Amino acid sequence: MDDFDMKIGVHIKNARMKKGITQEQLAELSDLSTNHISKVERGMCSVKLKNISKICKVLDLSLDILISDTMQQPVQTDVFSTTQMTTIENYLKEALSVINTVNGSTNGTVTMK
């Protein structure tokens, strides 16, 4: 998806978290699936205007301000790409292997010495 989808997703996620509700609650209250809310928040799909409107209603967001902010301001996101997550996971597995080797662990658990 494009930069707009990612930005709008981050804005929606931030508003949802600020309101203190889960993706499941937002999905139920906006009559959308949890899977769809997840994809929207990660910028993995283009969200239809009618669905943005439903989400904004639940989150007490102004649709015009959400769209305007999304188009005008860069948004910082802590979302990692799949490739980045795979790289991090591989580094962690390698680090765990080294720790286990140093500690002499053979069962995959790390014991502090």
Express each pLDDT in 60-83 by its tens digit. 988 888 887 777 765 455 556 667
30-53 mean pLDDT: 93
Residue 93 CA to residue 90 CA, distance in Å, equals 5
Give the global pTM.
0.62
Give CA angle at 27 (25, 32), nearest 5°.
Answer: 160
| pLDDT at residue 103 is higher than 80 | no
How much is the mean pLDDT over the chain?
Answer: 81
| pLDDT range class, residue 107, cuts 50, 70, 90 | low
Alpha carbon distance 51, 33 (integer Å): 11
Query: At what angle are helices 49-59 and 63-72 packed, to 10 degrees?
Result: 110
User: Of residues 33 and 93, which shows the higher confidence score?
Assistant: 33
Q: Say if CB 55 and CB 40 are below 8 A apart.
A: yes
